[in-house]
């Protein structure tokens, strides 16, 4: 199969899935009592969100944050020596990231291949927000230099000159 034929087949499959999703959405809207307009917008929203949306919804104000989020706050607090105000800011940033990622993964308009980069972009925005709230000393601890490719943490990068000498000494 040529590249063009593959692209055409993939496009046809994508259209079939989009059609199925649209049909499913219309059935769900009909079951909930919502009506679609000519522009594709719903006139009346469903009374209750679907169970998956409830499970992924961010913690509301006054409710405890998820355990994984609290573990991350604790570990960054220990690593960076965050004060109470910074901890509150960090918690807020992480909750915002969590809601944004849930929105990305629940968005039917996004193709699966687009979700990974969108999630990484959300993580990068969160990291930028964390850097902005840290002191200069804390930033140094938060942003350690990236290890060289192929090395383990705490391991020196290979010396190319030494490697070349070893290779040449082994040749007959």
pLDDT in tens, 94-144: 999 999 999 999 999 989 889 999 999 999 999 999 999 999 998 888 875
List phi, psi (to 5°) of 42: -80, 140
Which tens digit of pLDDT belongs to each residue from 13-23? 777 767 676 76
**pLDDT given for residue 31 in this prediction:** 65
DSSP 154: T
Confidence (pLDDT) at 107: 92
Name the residue among 97, 50, 44, 91 with its Cα closest to residue 71. Answer: 91
Q: What percent of the chain has pLDDT over 90?
A: 31
Q: Which of 152, 171, 148 is nearest to 160 (CA)?
A: 148
The domain locations on the chain are 1-47, 49-144
**Structure-block tokens of residue 96:** 């915002």
Q: Give the burial class of 165: count Cβ atoms within 10 A of its Cβ; 0-12 exposed, 13-18 middle, 19 or more buried.
A: exposed
Phi, psi of 36 (to 5 degrees): -90, 145
Helix, strand, coil distribution of the chain in percent, nearest 5? 65, 0, 35
Average pLDDT of span 33-57: 48
- Average pLDDT over every residue of 45-66: 49
How many Å apart are CA 108 and CA 19, to the nearest integer?
Answer: 12
């Amino acid at each position: 199969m040529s590249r063009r034929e593959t692209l055409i087949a993939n496009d046809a499959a994508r259209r079939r899935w989009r059609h199925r999703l649209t049909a499913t959405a219309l059935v769900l809207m009909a079951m909930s009592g919502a009506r679609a307009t000519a522009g594709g917008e719903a006139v009346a929203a469903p009374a209750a969100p679907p169970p998956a949306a409830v499970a992924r919804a961010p913690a509301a104000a006054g409710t405890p944050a998820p355990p994984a989020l609290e573990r991350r706050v604790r570990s960054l607090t220990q690593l960076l020596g965050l004060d109470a105000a910074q901890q509150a800011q960090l918690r807020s940033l992480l909750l915002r990231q969590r809601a944004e990622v849930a929105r990305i993964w629940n968005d039917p308009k996004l193709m699966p291949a687009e979700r990974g980069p969108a999630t990484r972009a959300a993580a990068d925005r969160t990291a930028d927000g964390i850097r902005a709230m840290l002191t200069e000393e804390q930033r140094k601890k938060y942003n350690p230099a990236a290890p060289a490719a192929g090395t383990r943490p705490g391991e020196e990068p290979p010396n190319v000159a030494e490697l070349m000498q070893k290779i040449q000494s082994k040749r007959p």
